[in-house]
Amino acid sequence: MEPDSGEQATDIATFDLGALLRFADLAVDGLSEAREEIDALNVYPVPDGDTGTNMYLTVEAARDALAERMGETGGDLRVAFQAYARGALLGARGNSGVILSQLIGALFRRMGQAGPEDRSAVVFAEGMQAASDAAYAAVGEPVEGTILTVARVAAEAAIEQAKDPEARVAQIIGAAAREARVALARTPDQLALLRDAGVVDAGGRGLCVVFDAAETALTGQRPVSLPNLIGSRAIPVPMPTNDLTPEGPAYEVMYLLDADDSAIPELRTTLQALGDSLVVVGGEDLWNVHVHTDDVGSAVEAGIVAGTPRRIRVTHFAEQVSRAREKRAERRGRSVVAVVAGPGLARIFTDAGASVIRTGPGLRPSTGEILEAIEQSGAEEVIVLPNDPDSIGVAEAAASAAEESGHAHVVVIPTKAQVQGIAAMAVHEPGRTFESDVVHMTSTARGARHGAITVAAKQAMTTAGLCEIGDVLGVVDGDFMLIGDDRLEVAIGVLQKLLDGGGELVTVVGGADAGELPAQCEAYVDRNHPGVDVIVYDGGQERYPLLLAVE
């Protein structure tokens, strides 16, 4: 992108390669300084979220990936954008890291599509809007008062600022960063959990650090808070998907279009009749057109009728499908990749035939680590068990990357607990068809009611009320439902809640400091529920002396 007209030489006008390198360093430095503060914003009494750490590791991986490829860029900003975005994707950890990587990827993708005649400010604002849309699309059930809200409000501010024909990139990011801080301050008004804890959203706080890094990279000045009222909500634009199947359209057609706004409704109608995955976004006589179709000529002609198409790009899906099939033909069999939280759990899953990725406090797996495990499995079909709610998004990103590269057919079963993964592995049967195996494993995992006991590391408001440091907490299906001072009493309370709905099998997984607790729980079930079987494992996981499941 060229500098906007009218920008002064003393200003850092646009996101050139130097600004990108500055941003990469500043984002790492900023999140490094703020990571403990952000981790502490976690509203849960057990430090499992590690939001600040996950976001820090994500931008660190992105910076390292950019540094590794600097010699290959030849000064090409688009290559640098791709390197940074891919590094963020592969290094993403936890939900916060995955969402951050989605924001970065969509922003840099739009910026990489810009031509020398495009206004940098407009492209940057459009990129921020695309980033917000991509983040919302990546989350199954978006919740306001989170990082998504902060990203959306920032994008709205950027789009509004870009309406000024004299606006520069530095002003765009400055407006976005200011409104992001305002949105962050309002997150407790949108989420009762944050309000009760007296904190702002951790992911939103981390995103503000990233925005501040971008503003400093562009202006050389540290931003200061300037509260303003936020504007009305924007309506997210659905993002296109590339479904590479023989039954779908054969081509993807994309182009920038110079056209009057009045010509766009008819263009949309014409293109909708030619194919699917249609997205036409933009405004002020500049549009980005995307469609999947079998009739490339007519799709381009529709652009000519509407205005002046340029930077036309056509991708033949059939060739991509063929290459993917060739790659998969070299792979055989089926494999399970499981994320595990302790040495004993690693042995359980390994003995059942799974490849394992170790996780634990402050050691969430990255997208790249799960992708590497998928690739190294050598299997044509791969099932991934994340066994943790914060790793589901990471696993899905890795699965998507593996599918796109043609390495394997990958399905993520969204197991939220280690014991759900154990239940799924118990019914895994490679002799079935892939679809049948996935259905059986998914059904069994969902049918496993799960619980745990742990110890509060800080004061926090829970479903069961206010807990203090050192309290024993009983977890049922992911919620803190019991508070006590005796581990066995709380464990029995969790078992009772899990068994209220009936059950035939109780799974007990002892942690690193479980002591006699697993045996005591087994004895309790034998005495009070004689018709229920009990299996006891030594899991060795940290922070959770006991993991429980009832099937």
pLDDT tens per residue, range 367-421: 889 999 998 888 889 999 999 988 888 888 888 888 777 767 888 999 999 999 9
- The CATH number given to whatever domain includes residue 38 is 1.25.40.340
Q: 382 with 344, same domain?
A: yes
- Measured in whole angstroms, how far is the alpha carbon of residue 217 from the centre of its chain? 25
Task: Assess if residue 410 is contained within a domain.
Answer: yes
Show the domain range for 28: 17-219
Same-domain status, 47 and 184? yes
- Amino acid identity, position 474: G
Are 342 and 422 in contact by the 8 Å Cβ rule? The answer is no
Residue 321 lies in a domain: no
Q: Are residue 111 and residue 177 in the same domain, yes or no?
A: yes
Of 396, 423, 447, at which residue does a domain stop? Answer: 447
123 and 213 co-located in one domain? yes
Domain end point (choices 423, 447, 471):
447
Whether residues 46 and 165 fall in one domain: yes
| Residues linked to residue 547 through DSSP beta bridges, in sequence order | 452, 509
Are 540 and 471 within one domain?
yes
Which CATH number goes with the domain that contains 385? 3.40.50.510
Instruction: Pick the last residue of a domain from 314, 347, 365.
Output: 314
pTM: 0.66
Q: Are residues 436 and 458 in the same domain?
A: no
- Tell me, yes or no, whether 70 and 211 share the same domain: yes
Q: pLDDT per position in the chain (551 positions), as tens?
A: 444 433 333 333 466 888 899 999 999 999 998 888 888 887 777 766 688 888 999 999 999 999 988 877 677 888 899 999 989 988 888 888 888 998 999 999 998 888 878 888 999 999 999 999 988 887 767 889 999 999 999 999 999 999 999 889 889 999 999 999 999 999 989 988 888 778 889 999 999 999 999 998 888 777 654 333 222 222 233 333 344 344 567 777 878 788 888 898 899 899 988 887 676 765 667 776 878 887 777 888 898 899 988 777 776 655 555 554 554 445 568 999 999 999 999 999 999 999 999 887 767 888 889 999 998 888 889 999 999 988 888 888 888 888 777 767 888 999 999 999 999 999 999 888 888 888 889 889 989 999 999 999 888 888 888 899 999 999 999 889 999 999 999 999 999 999 998 899 999 999 999 999 999 999 999 999 999 999 999 999 999 999 999 99
What is the β-pairing status of strands 472-476 and 409-412? unpaired
Query: Does residue 63 belong to any structural domain of this protein?
Result: yes
Residue 238 and residue 277 in contact, taking contact as beta carbons nearer than 8 Å: no
CATH number for the domain spanning 482: value is 3.30.1180.10
Q: Mark whether 401 and 263 lie in a shared domain.
A: no
Q: Is 35 found in the same domain as 159? A: yes
Residue 298 is part of a domain; what is its CATH number? Answer: 3.30.70
Domain-located, residue 151: yes
In a shared domain, residues 72 and 136: yes
**Residue 246 domain-assigned?**
no
- Find all residues with CB under 8 Å of 147, minimum gap 6, and list them: 96, 99, 100, 135, 201, 203, 204, 206, 207
> Quick check: is 230 in a domain?
no
> 58 lies in a domain?
yes
Number of domains observed in the structure of the chain: 4
User: Do 419 and 289 share a domain, yes or no?
Assistant: no
